[in-house]
Chain A
Amino acid sequence: MAVRTTNQKAWLFVLPVFLLVAFNALIPLMTVVNYSVQETFGDNVFFWEGLRWYQQVLHSERFHDALLRQLAFSFIILAIEVPLGIYIALRMPRRGPWVSVCLVLMALPLLIPWNVVGAMWNIFALPDIGLLGRAINGLGIDYNYTQEPLAAWFTVVLMDVWHWTSLVALLCYAGLCAIPDAYYQAAKIDGARPWAVFRYIQLPKLKRVLTIAILLRFMDSFMIYTEVVTLTGGGPGNATTFLSIDLVKIALGQFDLGPAAAMSLIYFLITLLVCWVFYTLMMRNEAD
């Protein structure tokens, strides 16, 4: 954001956006807040419960487990997708006819509806008729993601890597393309090794896009729902029941609206907190 003039009339430009988003965000949010402090036995009869649901959720083992699984999942996929994405971006051609082909093929997984992604991996990883399941079992490793928690985790993580690594790679690629050739020439004259080029020229230039990539990947992996539900249904047992899946189970499966609402708000606040940290970092980068 360059030089901007102060003009309060700008609010008029923002008003339609504000109203539309507020309609979609504030009303449902207030509904959730409303549920989270009350008990209902149906028929629109509500009783004030105060903070009981919050205490119940915060002390429940089930919530802790789901949160832990969710955090572990986000951490694992970030640890894989970010380095892999950078690596792929470094390997992509900068010019020539292959650029378009690479871009289109790599972006393809991003455009597939999330439940189709889940269904696709469900078929792909089936131990009897799926290519992946068949191949792994063929290697002599016992693999069945509907039975073993470890195999289920492996499949879910692999699916996410398949689905989203391209996002990190495309972002890094755009960042790399923005580096002027002169930088590389200077490095060449200095006799810099490839690692030094990466460490002192490319990586610093990638800082900004990487912040965005990590922000987006954290947000989306922390909210992941559809893909995992279609793939494993949260199982076997509760092995892949992440926070969002557990939430939907409580809210729509058991219709425990109070605890579900309290859990929603806690969930939302955690996401918000982490994203605020990233946002602040991002804005500081931008100011530089």
Chain B
Amino acid sequence: MPRLRGLPLMLYIIFLMLPIYWLLNMSFKTTNEILGGFSLWPHEFTLDNYREIFTDPTWYSGYINSITYVVMNTVISITVALPAAYAFSRYRFIGDKHLFFWLLSNRMAPPAVFALPFFQLYSAVGLFDTPFAVALAHCLFNIPLAVWILEGFMSGVPRELDETAYVDGYSFPRFFFKIFIPNISSGIGVAAFFCFMFSWVELLLAKTLTAVEAKPIAATMTRTASTSGYELGLLAAAGALTIIPGAIVIYFVRNYIAKGFALGRV
């Protein structure tokens, strides 16, 4: 029985892996072979596509730019979300419920709605085409997300912890950094992962807010796809490389992924 039980799951995972396999397959082929016909695996195995990406600055700087703004965004989001999430989970204050929904509503704002105004806003403040612009713009949906996830984790920590610490004579900052933060470290990890993820996969805003200097890798890809026509191998290699950072971080948070997606509410 156990074999049969696992079969649908196996099929599903194979279904998930097939397009990724096809991308890898393409990335190891020469352009001639790709256009020459259909083949299930590369017959003339080549690393040229990857070599070009790692040696051409217009390509690899895209990766550096992407990583830069993603990391900046994650740090900013978590730093400001921590105290806010604490406030939401521990205190009642005027407008708290409305504020909480308003925060979430920004997660619902279609980026297509905001693309043009964002361009104008960041041009006006002189941040256009810098990683800062993208890092700050992604705060729009990542801060609410971080607040939500952290609030969920924090509400799981009993209030008695706070009270005991005060009785023991801890000041608030000392309690917060020495006791509270270690207690929700997995929550912070998950929130950071989600900020990383959504900043990494988003393209519309990242593309709108950059031109040359801070162009993200994903935007470099769209340019290649449209201008130089049919360099599918190169495109596939670039795509395959964008999967790696995600695969690395996912390994570390694998046991908390679901809790994070549930905004800390499972």
Chain A residues within an 8 Å CB radius of B115: 248, 251-252
Within 8 A of B (CB), among A106-144: 106-116, 119-121, 123-124, 128-132, 134
Nearest-neighbour CB distance to chain A for B55, whole angstroms, equals 21
Query: Is residue A41 within 8 Å, beta carbon to beta carbon, of the partner chain?
Result: no
Nearest-neighbour CB distance to chain A for B194, whole angstroms, equals 10
Query: Is residue B218 within 8 Å, beta carbon to beta carbon, of the partner chain?
Result: yes
**Contact between chains at B8 and A87 (CB < 8 Å):** yes
Chain A residues within an 8 Å CB radius of B81: 17
**Contact between chains at A115 and B218 (CB < 8 Å):** yes
Chain B residues within an 8 Å CB radius of A48: none
Chain B residues within an 8 Å CB radius of A112: 201, 239, 242-243, 246
Q: A32-B117, A271-B108, A275-B108 are in contact. Are A105 and B83 (CB under 8 A)?
A: no
Q: Once bound together, how far apart are the Cα atoms of A276 and B86, in whole Å?
A: 24
**Contact between chains at B8 and A244 (CB < 8 Å):** no
**Contact between chains at B99 and A104 (CB < 8 Å):** no
Nearest-neighbour CB distance to chain A for B19, whole angstroms, equals 4
Query: Is residue B26 within 8 Å, beta carbon to beta carbon, of the partner chain?
Result: yes
Which among A165, A174, A219, A225 has the highest number of chain B CB atoms within 10 Å? A174
Which among B17, B117, B235 has the highest number of chain A CB atoms within 10 Å? B117
**Contact between chains at B88 and A14 (CB < 8 Å):** yes
Q: In the complex, what residue of chain B is closest to A225 when comparing beta carbons?
A: B112
Nearest-neighbour CB distance to chain B for A129, whole angstroms, equals 5
Q: Once bound together, how far apart are the Cα atoms of A127 and B115, in whole Å?
A: 34
Stretch at the interface among B44-52, B177-185, B248-256: B248-256
- Chain B: interface residue total (CB-CB under 8 A): 97
**Contact between chains at B112 and A91 (CB < 8 Å):** no
**Contact between chains at B16 and A108 (CB < 8 Å):** yes
Chain A residues within an 8 Å CB radius of B12: 88, 106, 165
Chain A residues within an 8 Å CB radius of B212: none
Q: Once bound together, how far apart are the Cα atoms of A230 and B245, in whole Å?
A: 21
Q: A31-B120, A103-B255 are in contact. Are A223 and B250 (CB under 8 A)?
A: no
Q: In the complex, what residue of chain B is closest to A129 when comparing beta carbons?
A: B38
**Contact between chains at A111 and B200 (CB < 8 Å):** yes
**Contact between chains at B17 and A105 (CB < 8 Å):** yes
The 6 closest A-B pairs by CB, nearest first: A111-B246, A174-B258, A28-B117, A10-B91, A13-B87, A31-B117
Q: Name B residues whose Cβ lies closer than 8 Å to a Cβ of A.
A: 5-6, 8-9, 12-13, 15-20, 22-23, 26, 34-35, 37-38, 40, 76, 80-81, 83-84, 86-94, 96, 99, 101, 103-118, 120-121, 136-137, 139-140, 143-144, 147, 155, 159, 197, 200-204, 217-218, 221-222, 225, 232, 235-236, 239, 242-243, 245-247, 249-251, 254-255, 257-259, 261-263, 265-266
